[in-house]
């Protein structure tokens, strides 16, 4: 399978360097030049992953990221201008699954890209349906259902629930979930897991699964 990657970067030199780097590593790459057409490009190109510069002119990153999340569960890697806690938090709140800072270390960029795609599609392409206490996790369609209700999930949300379903009835430590999700913290801190768990709980509550994920103080999470 040849993975497809969409690049949304306003700096011409960086955009072309990324394109050639990723193509040379075996990916099919589309580099957007007209940011107003990014949503259209996502729909037509159907990438597995998008790399999106946060510092696009005119707050375009938010205008692009939010609509993508309304119809697609592709992984979005956000690129802040610096490596600060606020930049990382902004990346998460925009709906990004990961962030990579400039200037790029090509080896790290390729390692993170490969890890993201491997993690995202290892379970995401499976037609398996996991069940626990009346809830069904549909891996192929990125849905969780219960008693006729359903909620759409992002790739990260699917992976977190996949891990919890596979270990249902056991306490899963935060460190174990982070290691499963993000390859030994290649590009994430503890806050990213908290943000994703909060989002999942909100979606679960919307289909009547309030309290489905339980927090065990100083231990982790369990179903």
Is this structure's pTM higher than 0.75? no
Which residues, in sequence order, are CB contacts of 141 under 8 Å at separation 6+?
Answer: none
Name the domain count of the chain.
Answer: 2
Read out DSSP for 101-127? PSSP-HHHHHHHHHHHHHHHHHHHT--
Domain containing 94 equals 4-122
Domain end, chosen from 122, 141, 158, is at 122
Ramachandran area for residue 147 (φ above 0: left; ψ -120 to 50: alpha; else beta): left
pLDDT of residue 96: 73
Domain co-membership, 11 together with 118? yes
Mean pLDDT in consecutive groups of 10 residues from the start of the chain, 223 residues? 88 92 94 89 90 77 78 80 63 71 82 80 65 90 91 87 91 86 55 88 95 92 95
pLDDT of residue 154: 84
Domain end, chosen from 88, 105, 122, is at 122
Where are any strands of DSSP class E within 81-219?
98-99, 129-132, 135-138, 143-146, 149-152, 214-216
Q: What is the DSSP letter of 172?
A: B
Q: What CATH number did the domain enclosing 78 receive? A: 3.40.50.2300
Which residues, in sequence order, are CB contacts of 105 under 8 Å at separation 6+?
Answer: none
Separation CA 196–CA 187 (nearest Å): 15
Domain co-membership, 16 together with 28? yes
pLDDT of residue 147: 92
Residue among 77, 85, 88, 87 at smallest CA distance from 27: 77
- Number of Cα atoms under 13 Å in the Cβ half of residue 28: 8
Q: What is the DSSP letter of 185?
A: T
Task: Decide: 222 and 164 in contact? Cβ < 8 Å.
Answer: yes
Separation CA 158–CA 174 (nearest Å): 16
Separation CA 204–CA 197 (nearest Å): 10
Domain co-membership, 13 together with 114? yes
Q: Tell me the sheet residues that pair with 28.
A: 4
pLDDT of residue 133: 92
pLDDT of residue 101: 77
Domain co-membership, 152 together with 92? no
Domain co-membership, 200 together with 98? no
Domain co-membership, 106 together with 94? yes
């Amino acid at each position: 399978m040849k993975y497809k990657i969409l690049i949304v970067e306003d700096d011409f030199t960086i955009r072309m360097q990324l394109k050639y780097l990723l193509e040379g590593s075996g990916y099919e790459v589309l580099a957007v030049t007209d940011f107003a057409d990014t949503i259209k490009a996502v729909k037509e190109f159907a990438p597995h992953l998008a790399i999106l510069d946060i510092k696009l002119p005119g707050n375009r990153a938010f205008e692009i990221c939010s609509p993508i999340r309304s119809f697609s569960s592709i992984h979005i890697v956000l690129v802040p201008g610096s490596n600060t806690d606020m930049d990382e938090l902004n990346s998460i709140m925009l709906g990004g699954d990961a962030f990579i800072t400039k200037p790029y270390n090509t080896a790290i960029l390729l390692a993170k890209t490969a890890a993201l795609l491997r993690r995202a599609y290892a379970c995401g392409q499976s037609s398996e349906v996991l069940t626990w206490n009346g809830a069904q996790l549909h891996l192929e369609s990125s849905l969780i259902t219960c008693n006729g209700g359903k909620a759409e999930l992002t790739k990260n949300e699917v992976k977190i629930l996949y891990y919890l379903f596979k270990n249902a009835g056991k306490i899963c430590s935060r460190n174990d979930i982070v290691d499963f999700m993000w390859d030994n913290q290649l590009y994430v801190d503890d806050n990213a897991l908290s943000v994703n768990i909060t989002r999942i709980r909100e979606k679960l509550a919307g289909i009547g699964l309030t309290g489905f994920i339980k927090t065990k103080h100083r231990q982790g999470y369990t179903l």
